[in-house]
Amino acid sequence: AQSVAQPEDQVNVAEGNPLTVKCTYSVSGNPYLFWYVQYPNRGLQFLLKYITGDNLVKGSYGFEAEFNKSQTSFHLKKPSALVSDSALYFCAVRDKGYQKVTFGIGTKLQVIP
């Protein structure tokens, strides 16, 4: 079985400050990990993924995420938040060899001007 947890319902950060959106996962094997962003009334957009290799993954719009196997975490980060980053962020996991992806419940990011 696979699962993913996003412990924060909402994250507030001031514009220009660094942001972190947390994600932890559980899989029986090795994970593929993903981050997606959703703007209001839109579909999800892919941001970045971890497959293998370097634990620090860089993605779209200046976002990055760090894979930590010992803590089973895959936190999303950005050095300097923009007001336009305000959106709903989803972490997702797929156990290698499985077809289905499990999404977290989402974290609302609010960047305050």
Partner 1 sequence: SQTIHQWPATLVQPVGSPLSLECTVEGTSNPNLYWYRQAAGRGLQLLFYSVGIGQISSEVPQNLSASRPQDRQFILSSKKLLLSDSGFYLCAWSPPGLAGGNEQFFGPGTRLTVL
> Which residues contact partner 1 by CB under 8 A?
32, 34, 36, 40-46, 49-51, 88, 90, 94, 96-101, 103-106
Using CA atoms, how far residue 49 sits from 15, 54, 63, 110, in Å, is 25, 11, 11, 23
Closer to partner 1 by CB, 15 or 102: give it: 102
Closer to partner 1 by CB, 34 or 63: give it: 34
CA-closest candidate to residue 84, choices 58, 105, 110: 110
In the complex, minimum distance from the CB of residue 4 to partner 1, in angstroms, rounded to a whole number? 10
Closer to partner 1 by CB, 61 or 79: give it: 61
Amino acid at 75: H
In the complex, minimum distance from the CB of residue 8 to partner 1, in angstroms, rounded to a whole number? 13
Close Cβ partners of 54 (under 8 Å, ≥ 6 residues apart): none
